[in-house]
Structure 1
Amino acid sequence: MKRLCTILGIARSSFYYWCRTAADRAARQAADARLATRIRTVHHESGGTYGVPRITAELRGDGERVNHKRIARVMRSIGLAGVRLRRRHRTTTADPAAVKAPDLIGRDFTESEPNTKYVGDITYLPLEGGKFLYLATVIDLASRRLAGWAIADHMRTDLVTDALAAERTRGSIAGAVMHLRRAARPASASR
C-alpha cells in the first residue's frame, strides 16, 4: 500500500482514513437519498415553486431537523430549484403637475410617407450593482426602420434629442410628428 500511495501522491494516512470512514459515507448518502425523496415530495406539492427557504420551513414544520445548507446541496444534486421572481424596478415617476402633451397621431401608427411620423421609446438596461443605462430609440412609421438611438446613464431630455439624430441620417424632419409612450415624457411632440 505504501508504494501505491507514493505513486498516486497521497498520504497513507489519507487512504486509511478513507477506508475507515466508508460506512459513515454510505450512511450519509442513504440519509441524503431519503431527504431527496422528501424534498421532491414537498417541491411537487408546491407546484415546483418552493425553493430552499420554504422547503426547509416545511420540513422543520413536520418535525425534521435539517439545515438549509444541506437542503440546498441536496436540491442542487437532484436538479431542483424554486421559482425566482424578478424584482421590478421603477425607473420613471411622472410629475403630476406636468402638462400632458396631446396625442398628435391619434393612436394611428400607420404612415405611407417617410419622415412624417416617428415613434420612440425609452427602456432601461440593468447593470450589475443595481445601476441602469437608458436606451432611447426612434422608429420611422413609414419604413418601420430605426431612425436613431441614444444610450446614457440618465433619462433627461438630452437622451431623446440625441436619439432624434434622424435629421443627420434622413434629411430634414421639419414638420414631422414624434410620439413617445407616456412614461417616456412627453406623450407626443411636433417638431
Structure 2
Amino acid sequence: MPKPYPREFRDDVVAVARRGETPLKQVAKDFGISESCLANWLRAADVEDGARPGVTREESAELRELRKRNRLLEQENEVLRKAAAYLAQGNLPKIAFPLVRELAAAGAPVRVPVAVTCRVLGFSRQAYYQWCSAPVSQRDWDDAQLINAALEIHADDPADASENRVWRICSMQQIFSLHAKKKGQPKKAGPPVHDDLVRRDFTADAPNTKWLTDITEHPTGEGKLYLCAVKDCYSNKIVGYSIASHMRASLAVSALRNAISLRDPHGVVVHSDRGAQFRSAAYQRLLRSHGLTGSMGRVGACGDNAAMESFFSLLQKNVLDTRRWRTREELRLAIVSWIETKYHRKRRQRGLGKLTPVEFETIYTTASAA
C-alpha cells in the first residue's frame, strides 16, 4: 500500500487548484498525482471549509484529544486515590517511589505511566529512575553516618553541642563548606553532530543515496517566510520541503519527514550545515529512526553545501526577487508552483543532459526495471 502524501503537500496542491488559473487535469499532472486523487483532496477540503457535510480534521482531532484527556483524568484520579496515605505523611518523593512502580506495573487494574504519576505527585522521572537503580544511594549512607555521629556527640554532651561549638570545631580542623559560582565562559561553536561525508562531491550514482538540505528566508508584507528544502544529488529534484513563518527545528524536521514519506529511503546520507535546526535532538532522532546517515559541513564554509545554495539562487532569481510579496500565503503558493511545475518538469539542466529532474529519474526507473 503506497504511503499517504504529506499533509503540507496536499494543502499546497489544493490551494493551487482552487486558484482556478489552471485546469484540474493539468494541476494533477503538474504535481504528479491522479485526477481522482485531486478530486478527493478537494472534497475533503470542502468538508474542512464547511461547504460539504462531514467530519472535519479539527473535529476528529478534538474527539481524539477528548478521549485522551478522559483517559488521563482516570489515571490521575487513580494516582490520587492510592497516594492519599503517602501524601498524608508529607515525606515525598522517596516514600512514594514504590507507589509509582506499583501503578506502572502491567497487572495493575488501571495502569498509570510513570510520567503521569510523577507529574501528579510533583517530582521528576529522573529521581524515580535513580531510585530504581539504587534505592539507597551513597549520599543516604553518608547522611546516616553523619546523623549517627551527631547523635553520639549530642548524647555525650547535649547542653554544649551547640551550633557555635560545631562551627568552632570545624574551624579548628580547617573544615569549611565552599559555595562559589563558576565564572561564565564565552560560548564557542560546538563540534559538529556528524562528520562531513560529502566533501563537496555533489554527485550520486542513483536516487536516494545523497541528499542536501538547508533553509532560506525572504521578507513579505506580513514578515519573513522560511523554506527548508531537501534536494536529491542524483537528479537535483527537491524531494521534500516545508514552508513556515519560523525557522525552528520543527521546520527542518517537517521537510525531512515529507521527503521520507514521498521517497521511503534507506541509508541515505543527509548533508547540511551546522545550523541549530539540524543539530537539534528531534532532527537527530528522525535520522536514526529511519536509518539515515547525517553529514555536516564546516562553520562559515558555504561551498560545503554549494549545490543547495545553487538551488536557492535559482529560486531567488525566478520567484523571490521578481516582485514584492504582500502576504506569506501569496509567496508560499508561488514557491510551491515554481518548484512543482517549473523546476521539476520544465526547466532542463545541462548536468542532466538537457533533461528535467522528473525526466531524468523516469529514465533511471525504467532502466532499473528493465
Q: What TM-score comes out, normalization by structure 1 length?
A: 0.43
Q: Which structure has the highest helix share of the two?
A: 2
Q: Which structure has the highest strand share of the two?
A: 1
